[in-house]
Structure 1
């Protein structure tokens, strides 16, 4: 084949590694006629083609949300998904925090979207609409900015707000919107003077940007025609996730030689002649560009466990360099570019983790002012929206138990994908409110037949407030046939409904109830919940106001307290903390509900996975949960996310009821657990008003599987059956910092102890520290007038407290 490379094809995902890209270019030059194709199920084709339409070439857009006063999101969940979303979330939150006598203004966010998202949850104004209607909205906004009469009051108010913030605003389109919407968004940004200010245009971060859908289409055409004699696939799983109308499986089987590099035996591996085990990215050397072009040197943390090979090694072998390691490949690429000082430079890169000043430079660019022609009209029937799953992505993480059991940010569903619809759409198909409420309480829902383009899929139906009417959202990535013990036969495979001319779905869908028993759903939101009517209504758990109202009354949280008391009498003795007094403050104003803190806590503290059946029984083991609350009409309510770890109460109700003192109060204010003393009475859990304690009803932790042992944190005890556990404020990290400080004969400095949840939070919503240090961040936040404890009327005096939610709605808009 290598002697006649015209029949050789290589299929990869998008490559941003400079070294791997150079290897690929070397291979293309070495074997004339060989072709390189790229494909990812969740690609940025729409963004890529939209920017090319706007600027005339493939470019990359970098957004600076820390400079924007007003943001308009056109179906973009820029804080929870997509390139650069962690940086964007941090930058957005930096303009969102409200501090007494310090903050004079905060940003404003308008979110136009079909299905509720993390970005929409923190928006000041959220406008639900079908995905196909976003293009019309964007066009109307553009013309209104140009002086034409606005088509609605919302567009009039948004246009006025944008014009008042020229050069300090951003209009961003979502990855699932067609290229024309991205082009319109850039035309608006150009009109407002945002390009070059809040938006930087650079060269692409990909080595070879290409329309991946058309690249895969060309490959399938060549395979069907018999041109392809050998196909080498590096990563990905096209047999599972290629567009349904491509019939990739039939074309793939026609190739005489098929090899696949992947980290699991997946659907593509099973049809390949050769499967090459791929190294995990932390088992091999490499390099990669970030969303803005900044280069990082990828360093291995461990030698390959299963004799895997990296893409660098595969391409090196094809080029004749069987003995060249990934380490030598990466150094070989960068060495000649640095010259004589390479060794010192290399060591600095490894120490820093990134190559300083390697971000791609800004290029001179101006978006086209003329709008492209309209591409879609809202369909008359139900519109189906297909999106990547928020936890298992395109299916590649389906065999990860942590992610399967991680509640979806907006629905709190685990271990399943469901068809999301609005309450009105559910009523229209015969799923009435009374029936729905009864089933939710029983942790069940109905099944429906979803028919789209002649194909019918049976899927659970789930109603979510705030979803646009007349449409339904379904996440793909489930329904794996081959992918591991956890992944296989879980959920519904949605890829047969994805077609090349409508990758994000389209109109003409039909939803029909089926006469089958109710389907069990593992949703954690209602676990251990209390009917508000039984406790006298709103208990002041979420306290919110607007920024203008906050400026008038920064102590607004006190007026929203459920049962205020001037003084709390107690039988508990006062604690005297002579050294440290650890505490936490959480700011729900910037929490998107992404669950990064939850999975970080699970990794740090060796928390077990229990499975769908146990989650249904309310036995999930997460030490930290994120509660979701609605306020307002079900058609478009305000959404709030509230992380809830252990409150570490001063007057902890769990402590006096333990008959063996397995839970006790430390000299630094922690509510400690002594695992080997616990006899599992569960009195402490019954007495906890916050329901943050977790009990090992069964033997959940696997002590014996060798591959799991290096995964665990050696500083945290692994719990067994019959033992209670809970959040410890990452006491192992506290002790490590105390030991280091003691070596240097000094006090622990503020910021030295960072809990796992705090470390993982992209918006810096969690602050931890020592209250006894008056200059610490947490001590200052405790003095904020918007600081309040949960259920203060119980006199538990939690160490974990919250800041009131402050939003910035436009006074010219009602909602």
Structure 2
């Protein structure tokens, strides 16, 4: 007699066979959104036709669950107004004469910047009567050009988050800043000070930390999704730590070596690169040209989705594929062997590059090892792209020369550190598992540990002192963009809680406590900014959002770089570690807007998963929603499988940022509510890009919430057979006399109105004026999801939680 598990497995196998039969031999302009839609299961048909899917579960919701998310929303809106209950009241003076530019009911906009992993993106902050309510891109900022990504859009919700750290604490008790500096001052003076920070580009922070270093402090840096491999590779070819800057608008051919350069979670220049790429892809008028994109990647990302030619390979095969491409171009070393699915096309790809010398780009993924980046740089130099579509500049990160977490742990064990400040980084959670940072810090009872952060997180739990950090919208500061331009960060409101910025803390430790405003101005005056007209130059910089002529210096490629190693042949199943496209490395895990922003391609919310190819799922007898055991040399976790068509065979992808145990109400969700699992438990310090892995089914299941199949055409029980997608090849479009016909091949020319869908099916009055429709240029849209987060911010759309999203809310 079969067990329930065997029966379920048999049904899954039948479903997979049915899906394969449905897709067998089909090519061309056919589209589907979910695997269930392909298989046309009875469950999918019932869901498709039902106006209120899962209504049975809706009636089973208990009162407590119904009010839980509504209560969180009320707390988010209401607690921000309770400052006077917990903090000393300060005198407020009403307007006697309103500011000249103020008009009641109309917003004001101020230029500022938000940072991610140290890099600044210029923003315009919309403010109503003293409160910031919305962020937009600054059109005059080189890292924004008027656009903004979803994580930057959601910073406004972080700012008003009631889970933010609100008080100075020591030993779990509320204290004061005065008490903290009274205790910290003598410790700093006694020596043995260590300071661990995230990636920083702030000129003011650089100035203050260098002064602390001169007084004997040891400096370290930890950025889990940072650019260490990039700067290392640039240093190898130029002699100085640097970063590449690309111009995709001039590139006719782009080769991506596992790069997601269109996503802000992968590249700090993504907003500008996306606009440049769209410009090169957009056909204007009746004839045009389009750039070609070849993507060689392990995980299915936004670049792969936009690619004209995509090749799915295992992460360790990316370097070998790049070496084989270099060989096909005429670069002899290192010799590489391309995976079978690329080998046949290598000659054509190389010929395309040769044909477009000085007008092409080869770009490597930020998380790829340094040798992949160095190989890409050498190919660009060989093709004459350097100085045309590619340039190198000095890195805006001054923390690249600091010690690593490994160096810090060695110094702690060697009793060289007596006082440790950890500012705006969370190594207990996000450091590779083999370093065991939490265990080392907990055991170091002789070290006075201070944590400075926006939330009371996993690192704060092992610290002796926790001091709250200000949000970027409530503090003065400065930072540099991806190509080095300096930006002034100005506050829009007084701090909601008792936070202080990093530069204010560094200043206090120097024994010279000052406000951020004075510290930033001191930095500028020390560099001679503005000269005798400093005040005028200062006002212009504040107004425009940037410091003029402050971009990083250009670096030239030099000879003598060490030879690249030979590719290593892949052995077995591998796992790719990638920053999450919505919550990044985990720092946005408490942001409901981002948790509810569907991830590109999978449209998953509230969880991370184990992405795998359908063939790997079949061979391992794994179905969607199955819980699997993922094991590497340093650790193991249980995660839910997600079968993703297009994923590379022989590998799985896991996003970072989930599995939090501290850091806020939403960050610490688990089980059926979401929260996922921590990929850092699988990561080794020897390779933070990918690792060998084994995948084993556990026999358990965990439901996932994805919007992939939501709101299908015709899902309102009214048949809709109208054609929505219009596509044509560039060759056919340019050759056709009637451009409309070129886009209508295989489609109906006339699209009649479906009157049953109208709110007023009977014509009430005749309208002969203009009517408006909406079209999306899929040559330009990258699927980043920024429009979704912007819509939530603009329209104050509620966060509903994983369960309600799965019901289609």
Task: Calculate the TM-score normalised by the size of structure 1.
Answer: 0.70
Q: Structure 1, residues 728-782: CA drift from partner, whole Å, max 9, x if none?
A: xxxxxxxxxxxxxxxxxxxxxxxxxxxxxxxxxxxxxxxxxxxxxxxxxxxxxxx
Distance (Å, rounded) in 1 between the aligned partners of 2:563 and 2:714? 52
CA shift at 1:216, angstroms? Answer: 1.2
Pair 1:511 & 2:674 matched:
no
Question: In structure 2, what is the equivalent of residue 121 of structure 1?
Answer: 305
Q: 1:139 aligns with which of 315, 323, 326?
A: 323
Alignment deviations for residues 329-387 of structure 1 (CA, whole Å, 9 cap, x no partner):
001111241221111111111111112332223233346677411263312x2111111
CA-to-partner distance for each residue in 1:502-527, whole Å, 9 max, x for gaps? 212212x11121222x3211111112
In structure 2, what is the equivalent of residue 53 of structure 1? 236
Tell me what 2:374 maps to: 183
Correspondence 1:666-681 to 2 at 5 A: none
**Whole-Å separation in 2 of the counterparts to 1:264 and 1:421:** 33
Instruction: State the distance in 1 between where 2:240 and 2:569 align.
Output: 27
Partner residue of 1:28? Answer: 213
1:206-221 equivalences in 2 (<5 Å): 206-210=397-401, 215-221=404-410
Task: Please state if 1:354 is matched with 2:538.
Answer: no
Contact 1:13 1:39 in 2 (8 A): yes
449-458 or 475-484, which moves further after superposition? 449-458
Tell me what 1:67 maps to: 250
Counterpart in 2 of 1:486? 666
Is the Cα contact below 8 Å between 1:54 and 1:367 reproduced in 2? yes
Conservation of the 8 A alpha-carbon contact between 1:260 and 1:272: yes
**Paired residues for 1:733-772 under 5 Å:** none
SS in 2 for 1:245: helix
Given that 1:540 and 1:560 are in contact with CA atoms closer than 8 Å, whether structure 2 keeps it comes out as no
SS of aligned partner of 1:588: coil
Distance 2:328 2:586 in 1: 41
Q: Which of 455, 461, 464 does residue 270 from structure 1 map onto? A: 461
Give the deviation of 1:409 after TM superposition. 1.1
Is 1:421 the counterpart of 2:601? The answer is no
Match of 1:222 among 387, 401, 411: 411
Distance 1:143 1:527 in 2: 46
Distance 1:577 1:284, change over 3 A: farther
Question: 2: distance between equivalents of 1:146 and 1:110?
Answer: 19
1:223-302 counterparts in 2 under 5 A?
223-253=412-442, 254=444, 255-302=446-493
Aligned-residue RMSD, C-alpha = 2.4
1:543 offset after TM fit, Å?
2.4
C-alpha distance 203-147 of structure 1, shift in aligned 2 (>3 A) = closer
- Does residue 386 in structure 1 map to residue 570 in structure 2? no
SS at 1:350 equivalent: helix
Deviations 1:785-806 (A, max 9, x none): xxxxxxxxxxxxxxxxxxxxxx
Q: Aligned-pair distance for 1:389?
A: 1.0
- Say whether 1:564 aligns with 2:564: no
For residues 700-748 of structure 1, the C-alpha deviation after alignment (integer angstroms, 9 at most, x for no partner) is xxxxxxxxxxxxxxxxxxxxxxxxxxxxxxxxxxxxxxxxxxxxxxxxx
- Structure-2 residue corresponding to 1:82: 267
Aligned to 2:776: 586
Q: Distance in 1 between matches of 2:645 and 2:387?
A: 38
User: Which residue number in structure 2 is paired with residue 606 of structure 1?
Assistant: 796
Distance in 1 of aligned mates of 2:190 and 2:357: 54
The whole-number CA distance in structure 2 between the counterparts of 1:565 and 1:404 is 38
2:51 is aligned to none
* Structure 1 residue 343 corresponds to structure 2 residue 531: no
The residue correspondences of 1:406-445 to structure 2 (distance < 5 A) are: 406-431=597-622, 436=623, 445=625
| 1:66-106 deviation line (CA, Å, top 9, x unaligned) | 111111010000011312111111111111111223x5311
Counterparts of 1:723-738 in structure 2, within 5 Å, are none
* Structure 1 Cα separation of the partners of residues 262 and 463 of structure 2: 38
User: Is 2:378 the counterpart of 1:195?
Assistant: no
1:449 to 617, 629, 648: 629
Q: Once the two structures are superposed, what CA deviation does each residue of 1:600-620 show, in whole Å capped at 9, x if it has no partner?
A: 01000010000011111112x
CA contact (8 A) 1:538 1:562 kept: no
In 1, Cα distance between the equivalents of 2:428 and 2:331? 50
Q: 1:581: Cα distance to partner? A: 6.5
Distance 1:270 1:15 in 2: 24
Residue from 731, 734, 744 that aligns with 1:548: 731
Mapped to 2, the partners of 1:5 and 1:574 lie a distance apart of 85
Contact 2:726 2:744 in 1 (8 A): no
Which residue of structure 2 lines up, in the alignment, with residue 319 of structure 1? 510
Q: Which residue of 2 aligns with 1:696?
A: none
Preserved contact between residue 231 and residue 259 of structure 1 (Cα < 8 Å): yes
1:407: Cα distance to partner?
0.7
In the other structure, the counterpart of 1:104 is 288
List gaps (5 residues or longer) in structure 1.
440-444, 620-815
Cα deviations across residues 565-611 of structure 1 (Å, max 9, x unaligned)?
58999842566587x97664421221111000000010000100000
Structure 2 counterpart of 1:9, from 181, 190, 194: 194
Residue 166 and residue 13 in structure 1: after superposition, are their counterparts in 2 closer, same or farther (change >3 A)?
same
The counterpart of 2:593, out of the listed 402, 425, 436, is 402
> Do the aligned partners of 1:187 and 1:367 also contact (CA within 8 Å) in 2?
no
CA distance in 2, matches of 1:418, 1:538: 35
Q: Which runs of 5 or more structure 2 residues have no equivalent in the other structure?
A: 1-185, 756-760
Partner-residue secondary structure (3-state), 1:57: coil
Q: How many pairs align?
A: 597
- Using the alignment, how far apart are the partners of 1:549 and 1:574 within structure 2? 42
- Cα gap change, 1:425/1:574 in structure 2, threshold over 3 Å: closer, same or farther? farther
CA contact 2:238–2:556 (8 Å) conserved in 1: no
Determine the C-alpha separation between the residues in 2 that align with 1:194 and 1:274. Answer: 51
In structure 2, the partner of 1:729 is none
Shift in alpha-carbon separation, 1:367–1:173, aligned structure 2, 3 A? farther
SS at match of 1:209: helix
For 1:285 and 1:567, how far apart are their aligned partners in 2?
55
Alpha-carbon contact 1:293-1:358 (below 8 Å) kept:
yes
User: Would the alpha carbon gap of residues 575 and 191 (structure 1) be closer, same or farther in structure 2, given more than 3 Å must change?
Assistant: farther
1:596–1:235: structure 2 CA closer, same or farther, 3 Å change rule? same
Q: Output one character per residue of 1:241-265: Cα deviation in whole Å (capped at 9) or x when no partner.
A: 1111111112212052010110111
Greater relative contact order (Cα 8 A, min sep 6): structure 1 or 2? 2
Alignment match of 1:524 (pick from 707, 712, 732): 707
